[in-house]
Amino acid sequence: MTKDLDNVVIKTVSRILVPFMQVFSLYVFAHGHGSPGGGFQGGCIMAASFILLGVAFNLREIGKRFRERNNALMCVLGVFIYTGTGCLAFLSSGNFLDYGTLSDLLPIDSIKARYYGMALIELGVQITVMAVMLSIFVDLVTAGRGEDAPEDTE
């Protein structure tokens, strides 16, 4: 009886907590290049929200919301956003990740180009960190078998 009651409490609290964690992750990302925080911290918080679902329910709950293939694509997408932003600056006759030179490609001044460049870099970092942390968790729980592992982790 006590085990069933504990599961109900944990599952209910996690259902309530996960959306708030995800919104807070986006808040940390949005204010990261102007205050403490950013892509890495936001990515860790976002991954923690999915990991909480996996701990409270099971791996099937993570799989319903975020398939392993989509997770791998997110890893690639985050790295692509990061390197793509750096290469755009490089192609506009600047140094790699010199955001000020993005003003040559965009109809904005160099200050706004730096702002948007930093935001893109932080977005790439957040996506990559979230996907890699989630992948590490799934690999640890399933001993590297991923989706082929038994789904009952309770």
Whether the CB-CB separation of 67 and 152 falls below 8 Å is answered with no
pLDDT of residue 25: 93
Angle between helices 110-142 and 2-30 (to 10 degrees): 160
Q: How far is residue 122's CA from residue 128's CA, in Å, rounded to a whole number?
A: 10
Model pTM? 0.82
pLDDT digits (tens, 9 = 90+) for 103-135: 777 788 888 888 888 888 889 999 999 999 998
Specify the 3-state DSSP secondary structure of 153: coil
Closest CA to 33 of 41, 23, 22, 24: 41
First to last CA, the chain: 16
